[in-house]
Amino acid sequence: MSFEVKPLPNVGAEVIGFDIREPIGEEVEAELKALWYEHAILLFREQDIDPGRQIEFSRIFGPLEKHPLETTRSLEYPELFELENGGDKDSFNTAYYHGEPIVGRLDWHMDLHYTARPNHGALLRAVTVAGEGGLTGFGDLALAYDELDEATKQQIAYLEVAYTFEMQRVKWRFVELEGYAPGPHSPKKPSDVGFPEFPDAIYPAVVEHPITGRKVLEVVEQFLDRVVEPEKAGLSESEADALLHRLVEHTRDPRFHYFHTWQPGDMILWDNWRAMHCTTGTAPGIKRLINRTTIQGDVMLGRQLDASAA
């Protein structure tokens, strides 16, 4: 099978002329994996496949994970996670942004980051697309690291940052809260949506990618809470907060982003050890369905703060 690779705007690449229904030999598998590590975000368009084939294709990139939320698993395909807007979970996922109700908007994040062992990656395939909205954004944090100035690279080389798993967005310290109000059914504690509690996850501010060795700026706005022991780096708490605000602002630079407007059959695979992602959400009542498969993370990129020692 031959295919072309074309860069997407800013980051990521599109694989053109590739039909996932065709048999894929070992050589092509290796080529796809190399492309995944090179670009972090791969787009394949018009893939007319069923969940079984999506699962099989995803296994090229590693063993698959079942999502921790049993309620969102597909019964027929436990490795499939159905991301649905316009269904019965909307009320939990609705919040207000400048007075407008939006379903399923998510800030920049990395999946399972709060466990200190993020997924290695995931693959999304659009089944039903929203006529308007419902974009998914991807951000390359290896490029974001590369583009830091030398002084900042030195300043953060030995810093650690802590992430606190907290359901209430108003308590997230580094997201944009202006104009935000939770919805009447927004979860207040993890058990409201069937999650357990998690201790804080601690990461080096710069993580080396386990496969490529590239340096990744491990600063993502969702759940970000603080610099760990800032005084060891000669920083006061307010200086440490200011530094994190500056780094988060840096990750928001559109030069590091690709936002995808979905068409049915579009598929995106990303490397969750390197790329963050977000969703813009949809207006209430809009139908959107994305089938997702998840590639297991088999490496602790961070560590869990020992709750008893906190």
Residue ranges in contact with Fe ion by CB under 5 A: 111
Q: Kindly state the smallest distance separating residue 261's Cβ from Fe ion, in Å.
A: 18
Q: Kindly state the smallest distance separating residue 81's Cβ from Fe ion, in Å.
A: 10
Q: What is the Cα–Cα distance from 55 to 65, expressed in whole angstroms?
A: 11
94 or 272, CB closer to Fe ion? 272
110 or 143, CB closer to Fe ion? 110
Plot region of 93 (φ>0 → left; ψ -120 to 50 → alpha; else → beta) = alpha
Closest residue (Cβ) to Fe ion? 111
90 or 111, CB closer to Fe ion? 111
90 or 160, CB closer to Fe ion? 90
Q: What is the Cα–Cα distance from 225 to 7, expressed in whole angstroms?
A: 34
Nearest to 149, CA basis, from 258, 277, 243: 243
3 or 195, CB closer to Fe ion? 195
- As a three-state string, the secondary structure of 83-140 is EEECCCCCCCCEEEECCEEEECCEEEECCCHHHCCCCCEEEEEEEECCCCCCCEEEEE
Q: What is the Cα–Cα distance from 19 to 34, expressed in whole angstroms?
A: 18
Sign of CA dihedral 84, 86, 87, 88: positive
Q: What is the Cα–Cα distance from 102 to 59, expressed in whole angstroms?
A: 34
10 or 72, CB closer to Fe ion? 72
Q: Kindly state the smallest distance separating residue 252's Cβ from Fe ion, in Å.
A: 17
Q: Kindly state the smallest distance separating residue 109's Cβ from Fe ion, in Å.
A: 6
- Rounded to 5 degrees, φ, ψ at 156 are -100, 0
Count each helix (H run) and each strand (E run) in the chain, helices first: 5, 21
Beta-bridge partners for 96: 101, 181
Q: Kindly state the smallest distance separating residue 277's Cβ from Fe ion, in Å.
A: 6
Q: Kindly state the smallest distance separating residue 111's Cβ from Fe ion, in Å.
A: 4
Q: DSSP E strands: which ranges in 121-272?
A: 121-128, 136-140, 160-163, 180-182, 201-204, 206-208, 215-217, 224-227, 257-260, 267-271
130 or 227, CB closer to Fe ion? 130
Q: What letter would DSSP give residue 26?
A: H
Q: What is the Cα–Cα distance from 222 to 14, expressed in whole angstroms?
A: 27
Within 10 angstroms of residue 12's Cβ, the number of other Cβ atoms is 22
111 or 200, CB closer to Fe ion? 111
Q: Kindly state the smallest distance separating residue 294's Cβ from Fe ion, in Å.
A: 10
Q: Kindly state the smallest distance separating residue 169's Cβ from Fe ion, in Å.
A: 15
